[in-house]
Structure 1
Amino acid sequence: MDSINYIWKDRKRVFGLPWTFTRYRLSEDRLFCEKGFLNIKQDEVLLYRVRDLQLNLKLTQRIFGVGTICVVSSDKSVPHLDLVNVKNPREVKELIHKNVEAAKDKRRMRTMEVMGGNDELDVHDPDGDLDDEVCGEE
């Protein structure tokens, strides 16, 4: 039995209908992508590791009310995860974004991009009194 409480669930859609064996799920702290029928492969990304979200809406996707959400993370095993042809993609992207921010706040994570690179620096600040400049905020 699956004891995880999911905030959102969907399947990859073809012509707007969920006819595939690719399932997407969002929990409070993880994003899951499960593919397959007989042989199942499940990838998961911890939400606090998500670095960027991108929404792609091709003309054919817009016709069928679906879109692709690209998730870029600092996870070594799943640095890029595409949620392809999901229903209500704008709302789903915002839902993921809100949960990513909540997961980072829960872990007291502050992110700052390192100049000249794509690396992410995680600074743990239990007191919450770091200088704004150190946190990359203005």
Structure 2
Amino acid sequence: MKKESMIWYDRKRLWCGLPWTFTKYGMDEGRLFVETGFLNTKEEEVRLYRILNISLSKNIIQRIFGLGTIHIDSTDLDLKCLRITNIKDSDHVKEMLSEKVEEERLRNRVSAREFMNHGEDGDDTEADLDSFEGHEH
């Protein structure tokens, strides 16, 4: 993860707001990165268009020190649930991330689709999917 190529970059901070941890977060035009560790490091990434849901939480200590935690749900197999913990300016980062996710969905022609099952036994799910996609039986 090269800091220079990032749109956004921050470190996980301690409860008091100091960046004395070895967890780093970054976002470039199409991906969100999480790097952890000091001696043994691990870098994970999720494509922005795979992100389904973004939420923000702030406990009282985080609010006092200007921090927040962003919760992300995605369709990625490795990073289904991701928490960007104790970051500065979390409101702005959440909004920026949300905008970038929408841009990437449009650019990659990907849309998040939700289906509701109206049948009691679940047999009509396939028919709902087929009719949604324009297929006929």
User: TM-score, structure 2 length as denominator?
Assistant: 0.81
* Equivalent in the alignment of 2:10: 10
User: Take 1:87 and 1:95, find their aligned partners in 2: how far apart are those partners?
Assistant: 13
Q: Which runs of 5+ in 2 are unaligned?
A: 118-131
User: Take 2:116 and 2:100, find their aligned partners in 1: how far apart are those partners?
Assistant: 27
Q: Which runs of 5+ in 1 are unaligned?
A: 117-132
User: Take 1:92 and 1:56, find their aligned partners in 2: how far apart are those partners?
Assistant: 13
Q: Higher helix proportion, which one?
A: 2
Indicate the structure (1 or 2) with the bigger Cα radius of gyration.
2
Q: Higher strand proportion, which one?
A: 1
Secondary structure of the 1:45 match is strand
4+ runs of 1 displaced by more than 6 Å?
none
Secondary structure of the 1:21 match is coil
The answer (yes or no) to whether the contact 2:12–2:22 under 8 Å persists in 1 is: yes
- Aligned partner letter, 1:12: K
- Aligned partner letter, 1:79: K
1:3 offset after TM fit, Å?
A: 8.7
The answer (yes or no) to whether the contact 2:29–2:100 under 8 Å persists in 1 is: yes
User: Take 1:34 and 1:16, find their aligned partners in 2: how far apart are those partners?
Assistant: 19
The total of aligned residue pairs comes to: 118
The answer (yes or no) to whether the contact 2:3–2:9 under 8 Å persists in 1 is: no
The answer (yes or no) to whether the contact 1:61–1:67 under 8 Å persists in 2 is: yes
User: Take 2:108 and 2:53, find their aligned partners in 1: how far apart are those partners?
Assistant: 18
* Equivalent in the alignment of 1:112: 113
* Match runs of 1:90-109 below 5 Å: 90-109=91-110
CA deviation vs aligned residue, 1:45-67 (integer Å, no higher than 9, x gap): 10000000010100000001000
Secondary structure of the 2:20 match is coil
- Aligned partner letter, 2:10: D
Alignment RMSD (CA, Å) = 1.8
User: TM-score, structure 1 length as denominator?
Assistant: 0.80
